[in-house]
Amino acid sequence: MSDSRQLAWAYLSRCIEGPDRELQRLLSAGEDVEKIVHGIKNRESWLGPLLKTTQTRASVDYAREDLEAIKAIGGRLLTPDSPEWPTEQFDAAFGFAASGQSDCIRSMQDDAVAPHALWVKGIPLSELLAQAVAIVGTRAVSNYGREATRQLVQELVAHQWTIVSGGALGVDAVAHSVALETGGRSIAVAACGLDKTYPAAHRGLFRQISQHGALVSEYPPGISPARHRFLTRNRLVAALTSGTVVVEAAWRSGALNTLTWAEGLGRVAMAVPGPITGVGSLGCHERIRTGRAQLVVSADEIRELLSAIGELDVAGQYEFDFAPSPVQSLSRNEMRVYDATSAQARLTADIAADAGLSVALTVHLLVELQKRQLICREGDGWKRIESEAED
């Protein structure tokens, strides 16, 4: 990319705080980025609505300074011209939003467009996003939420999934930390310039993420965090991943905003159920109850939802891991006969009477139960083999 073109993208990143639908329309129509910048600076009428959008910042050109600032901290500017630009992820997510298939996106339609630039520090995004899932949740994480997050992340990392989150306190921090502790990779999407550290307590964590993953922001250096930027940031967390899992979210938790974005962008929305003895998971429960999020309790369930159909069969694996005992495998009539036996030998006629079955059928079923080593003959009767644990 030429220096003048990179400067043009850097200028747009600060001049037009994304996302911006009109800018995306011009870029999609094939307008050159340098021509757009020239038009903004010279207030050319062909830009239409973009003139109003850029009215207060058109004369502010810190492009060169911003590029120097990001370089000073070991970062870089990514644009749609860059080889590592997440084209596949953005096309799928924002293309779905534009299709109008999701009702929940209508209230956020103005923001449902891709960023025009990303500021990144760390491993190339193309190496991190082949398998990526978002794990988000409350800042006021409980011991339950902490352990649930840890378990899910450990298992996902074992299957080479990149963990994406917002770098906040609580569930986000646990997700990032466990991913790194277990040798995995993580992406933190910031709501401020990457030269800022927010929250301040995560300076060390962010340093590790940049070494074993990536820090990503839509905002140029020097931009401070603000409430609206956190909400805008959430759409990127959802868009960069195949799906979003919320672990612990109260009724009005901000983490639910990311889950809503996952819905609106055609990503898989998932929620972990919590204890019913508190209010910390009310938001998760409501999304599950209304069908707006899939209930998940394990990494395998998450992976099944995010993988190609038929690639994973979690229910089948559960059947294998938690196979029924011989008694639990009995048919209804076999169970009736088995229940009519005891530790003491009983005559066939008595067993048949208690089971409510004919003697002939009872004999047939007793023989089957004997083959399964659940009962045995003793003299003229039948008795139960008590070594089988009953549920």
pTM score > 0.85 for this model?
A: no
Tally of residues, the chain? 391
Tell me what pLDDT residue 318 has.
Answer: 56
Tell me what pLDDT residue 247 has.
Answer: 96
Tell me what pLDDT residue 148 has.
Answer: 97
Tell me what pLDDT residue 59 has.
Answer: 92
| Amino acid type, 278 | G
Distances (CA, A) of 172 to 162, 163, 197, 225: 13, 10, 15, 17
Tell me what pLDDT residue 111 has.
Answer: 84
Tell me what pLDDT residue 319 has.
Answer: 52
Strand partners, 218: none
For the chain, which residues make up each domain, given as ranges?
1-61, 118-320, 332-384
Maximal CA-CA distance, the chain: 106
Burial class (CB in 10 A: 0-12, 13-18, 19+), 25: middle
What's the alpha-carbon Rg for the chain, to the nearest Å? 29
| CATH T-level topology, domain 332-384 | Arc Repressor Mutant, subunit A (1.10.10)
The class that CATH gives domain 118-320 is alpha beta
User: Any idea what DSSP says for residue 273?
Assistant: -
Tell me what pLDDT residue 391 has.
Answer: 46
DSSP 37-91: HHHHHTT-GGGTTHHHHTTTTTT---HHHHHHHHHHTT-EEE-TTSTT--HHHHH
Using an 8 Å Cβ cutoff, are 128 and 240 in contact?
no
Tell me what pLDDT residue 261 has.
Answer: 94
Residues with pLDDT less than 70, the chain: 1, 104-109, 308-324, 387-391
